[in-house]
Amino acid sequence: MSNRFTRRTFMQGVAASGALAIPYINASNVLGANDKIQVAGVGCGGKGDSDIMKCVNAGQQVVGACDIDAGRANNLANKVRGKKAGEAHVFADYREMFEELGPKIDAVTISTPDHSHAAAASRAISIGKHVYVQKPLTHTVHEARVLRQLAKDKGVCTQMGNQGTSLSSLRTGVEVIQSGGIGEVKEVHVWSNRPVWSQGQKMMDEFEKGKGAPIPNGFNFDLWLGPASDRPYNKAYRHFHWRGLWDFGTGALGDMACHTMNLPFWALELQYPTSMTAKVPKVYPISPPEWSVINFDFPARTVVRTGTKLAPVKLTWYDGTRTGLPRDVRKYADILKQAGKNNPAGSGSLFVGTKGYLYSPGDYANSFELLPKDDFADYKKPAPWLPRNSGGNFDQNQTNEWINAIKANKPSLAMSNFEYAAYFTEIILLGNLAMRVPGQTIKWDGPAMKSPNSKKANSYVKKAYRKGYELVGASKV
């Protein structure tokens, strides 16, 4: 597949038309005044409830609520019914839900543990359903490539749940960087305070203590495993903590880079890196480490909208500021101190330009500032060329953009559609390959999806699937 993603071409069209806002599309313009999108949710409780209720807030109907935990599924169904937003038939197995309700479903939200995202999403897309999938979009590099191609082939409207994409502040940051506000950028730093769950040695200890525990009532462990191999239940496989297990989660990088690396990825139009190198305290067989520092080397690019040539970039990712990340490797902190910021936020991003710095504290690029402040006292932001949402909750706006895209039958209206989001996720997850082969500079052939110098890294690009949970479309990539 091409190194380019089609949203760039869409952005050119937006700029040419002068469209600077994304209004909520009135259903009567496209579907008829009383038509509503019929949504089914895979994964309830926590983010699953949030994703479904955002669809309800947008005026849509819920036909199905699916979760391996009966209590969670029923709780969500009751919320939906209380809002008079659909019957929300309850299921434990999304495969049965798709089979039974298939013709009644227009769109699907997927908010399961990472390891099940692609199996559920590929099945939904293959039967023509629009999908909204929580971040990280996939569990493996290969799955991201498959979903990107499958969504393109089926022409469905897609969106990943990295909600910061819908923020005007992030889009303004993109414009500032691409207009040369801080000059040429050759260095970027992105950091996270995650993990906040058990990971590394703590997870290893928890896993040992969790052996032999009984399966909780109402928890269908076989369905929870989904595409993962059969194994005994372990108490470590509980809600949220699965993020610290390679078989089910993607660690701190997979969890947070889809948020915190979003501004750099979009603003610098990053393509496949030429190499990755990771530093970790220790390699654990079942869990990501307590902290990591990962260097990505990205090649020179050209901004499609302007034709501007961009220099090669070194991006450094840091995670584990709460779990032992050494202070002497936090280069971003030293740079910020020199620029007048003594106490950087626990997560954020920092662009190093030839004219100065752009610093965005937090996970979502809710804000940013140009440093040193005195050097940018008279700086004026460029005229906007990216679409804007009209205020409101950014999580709701992310859902609204997906709903807009479905009603207009224009996948590009969802700004984190899979042509962008799957490409982004694929590149992020390359860091996890490097983390599992630390100390080695792993050269990377992006189009071929393999390393020419690390067989071990290549062994983590794909995974096996349990019978009945195969990845639809895998044979085409």
pLDDT score of 33 more than 70: no
Note the pLDDT tens digit of each residue in 148-193.
Answer: 999 999 999 999 999 999 999 999 999 999 999 999 999 999 999 9
Note the pLDDT tens digit of each residue in 324-359.
Answer: 999 999 999 999 999 999 999 999 999 999 999 999
| Euclidean distance between CA atoms 295 and 273, whole angstroms | 10
Long-range contacts from 328-334, C-beta under 8 angstroms, 24+ separation: 329/279, 329/293, 330/191, 331/189, 332/189, 332/191
Residue-range domain boundaries for the chain: 7-164+391-423
Note the pLDDT tens digit of each residue in 198-208.
Answer: 999 999 999 99
For tokens 């440093």, the residue is: 371
Q: Which residue has the higher pLDDT, 126 or 30?
A: 126
pLDDT score of 1 more than 90: no
Identify the pLDDT of residue 329. 97
Instruction: Please compute the mean of the pLDDT values over residues 122-142 and round it to a whole number.
Output: 98
Identify the pLDDT of residue 101. 98
pLDDT score of 211 more than 50: yes
Instruction: Please compute the mean of the pLDDT values over residues 360-371 and round it to a whole number.
Output: 98
Identify the pLDDT of residue 203. 98
DSSP H helical segments within 245-393, as ranges?
251-260, 262-267, 331-338
Identify the pLDDT of residue 304. 84
Note the pLDDT tens digit of each residue in 87-111.
Answer: 999 999 999 999 999 999 999 999 9
Note the pLDDT tens digit of each residue in 230-287.
Answer: 999 999 998 889 999 999 999 999 999 999 999 999 999 999 999 999 999 999 999 9
Beta bridge mates, 302: 309
Could you report how far apart the first and last alpha carbons of the chain are, in Å?
Answer: 9
Strand order in the sheet with 275-279: 369-371, 357-361, 348-353, 185-192, 313-319, 292-298, 275-279, 442-443
Q: Which residue has the higher pLDDT, 34 or 405?
A: 405
How many helices (H) and strands (E) would you count in the chain?
Answer: 16, 16
| Euclidean distance between CA atoms 308 and 302, whole angstroms | 5
Instruction: Please compute the mean of the pLDDT values over residues 119-136 and round it to a whole number.
Output: 98
Q: Does domain 7-164+391-423 have CATH number 3.40.50.720?
A: yes
Let me know: does 136 contact 425? Beta carbons within 8 Å.
yes
Integer CA distances (angstroms), 47 to 50, 133, 262, 373, in order: 5, 11, 20, 38
Identify the pLDDT of residue 72. 95
Q: Of the ranges 3-7, 173-177, 354-358, 472-476, which one carries the lowest mean pLDDT score?
A: 3-7
Note the pLDDT tens digit of each residue in 308-320.
Answer: 899 999 999 999 9
pLDDT score of 25 more than 60: no
| Euclidean distance between CA atoms 116 and 124, whole angstroms | 12
pLDDT score of 27 more than 80: no
Instruction: Please compute the mean of the pLDDT values over residues 61-65 and round it to a whole number.
Output: 98
Question: CA triplet 429, 256, 350: central angle to 5 degrees?
Answer: 100
Q: Which residue has the higher pLDDT, 402 or 391?
A: 402
Note the pLDDT tens digit of each residue in 434-465.
Answer: 999 999 999 999 999 999 999 999 999 999 99
- Picking from 330, 277, 288, 276, the residue whose alpha carbon sits closest to that of residue 136 is 288
Largest CA distance in the chain: 65
Q: What is the percent of the chain where pLDDT is above 70?
A: 93
Identify the pLDDT of residue 185. 98
| Euclidean distance between CA atoms 107 and 62, whole angstroms | 10
Q: Are strands 357-361 and 348-353 parallel, antiparallel or unpaired?
A: antiparallel
Let me know: does 267 contact 178? Beta carbons within 8 Å.
yes
| Euclidean distance between CA atoms 236 and 183, whole angstroms | 48
Give residue 35's pLDDT band: very low, low, confident or very high (50, 70, 90).
confident
pLDDT score of 194 more than 60: yes
Identify the pLDDT of residue 257. 98
Question: What average pLDDT is seen over the chain?
Answer: 93
**C-alpha radius of gyration, the chain, whole number:** 22
Q: Name the amino acid, one letter, at 249.
A: G
DSSP H helical segments within 211-250, as ranges?
221-225
Q: What is the percent of the chain where pLDDT is above 90?
A: 90
- Picking from 107, 120, 118, the residue whose alpha carbon sits closest to that of residue 68 is 120
